[in-house]
Amino acid sequence: MPIRTILVGPPGVGKGTQSAMMEERLGAKPLSSGMIFRAEIEAETDLGELAKSYIDRGELVPNGVTIQMMLKRLRSAEVQQKGFILDGFPRTVRQAEALDEELAKAKIELDAVISLEVDESVIVERLSGRIGCTKCGEIYHRINKPPKREGFCDKCNSPLFVREDDQPSTILERLKVFRANTAPVISYYEAKGKLIKVDASQDPDVVFAEIVEKLGL
């Protein structure tokens, strides 16, 4: 049976890692709005052109357009057959409600919404230790994955830097946005009896095992 899930959690909680593990081991297709925008824009579809017109003006792509693109992917033969893992969408209760409506119309049943949970202090520690290579983009971590020579990339010897996204002030701002917009999405699905809570402070393999267990696979 294909699994149909949504992954939610604050930035830095490990959604990307779990999404990749779920694709590799459970066969479901990860879908993020960024991925879908790129695919539609590259294929020069009407929806893609519409999304691009907003992006080019530096505006947010409206909910309706994002949902239409998402739905097109959800209805595709590949996703119907393999299942899906939505990552980073829905971000707001309004998007969740619109998605629900469209899923019901398309007769697609959601199995579960997986909430990856961890203390904010852990996230700040994880993200603020990240340093990236200015040249090849390799990511290191001061504690978990230090470079062999401090301040320089193992692969290409270029200097390492703290990315804008990983500056402490940016991290706190991103967590604030998450609390304001996406935390209500978690309550929304909890009220619908769809929520699975997973302790994401553990090792990625342990987190994955807990997801599989709680999904009843």
Q: Taking the alpha carbons of 168, 173, 174, 179 in that order, is the dihedral positive or negative? A: positive
Q: Taking the alpha carbons of 29, 216, 120, 203 in that order, is the dihedral positive or negative? A: negative
Catalytic pick from 72, 82, 163, 197?
163
> Residue 38 CB, nearest distance to Zn ion (Å)?
24
The Cα 72–Cα 36 span in angstroms is 10
Q: Quick one: tokens of 136?
A: 């090849």
Whether 72 is catalytic is no
The Cα 56–Cα 189 span in angstroms is 33
Write the binding mask 114 to 133 for Zn ion: x where contact by CB under 5 A, - elsewhere.
-------------------x
Whether 179 is catalytic is no
> Residue 155 CB, nearest distance to Zn ion (Å)?
5
Half-sphere exposure of 126 (CA within 13 A, CB side): 15
Count of other CB atoms within 10 angstroms of residue 2: 14
Q: Quick one: tokens of 35?
A: 């991925």
Nearer to Zn ion, 54 or 152 (CB): 152
Task: Enumerate residues 150-169 that contact Zn ion by CB under 5 A.
Answer: 153, 155-156, 158
> Residue 150 CB, nearest distance to Zn ion (Å)?
14
Catalytic pick from 52, 72, 73, 91?
91
The Cα 199–Cα 190 span in angstroms is 16
Q: Single out the residue of 136, 139, 177, 206 in contact with Zn ion (rule: CB under 5 A).
A: 136
Whether 130 is catalytic is yes
Confirm or reject binding of residue 139 to Zn ion (CB under 5 A): no
Whether 94 is catalytic is no
Nearest residue to 79 via CA among 42, 35, 44: 35
Write the binding mask 171 to 210 for Zn ion: x where contact by CB under 5 A, - elsewhere.
----------------------------------------
Whether 174 is catalytic is yes
Positions in the binding site for Zn ion (CB under 5 A): 133, 135-136, 138, 153, 155-156, 158
Residues that are catalytic: 15, 91, 130, 163, 174
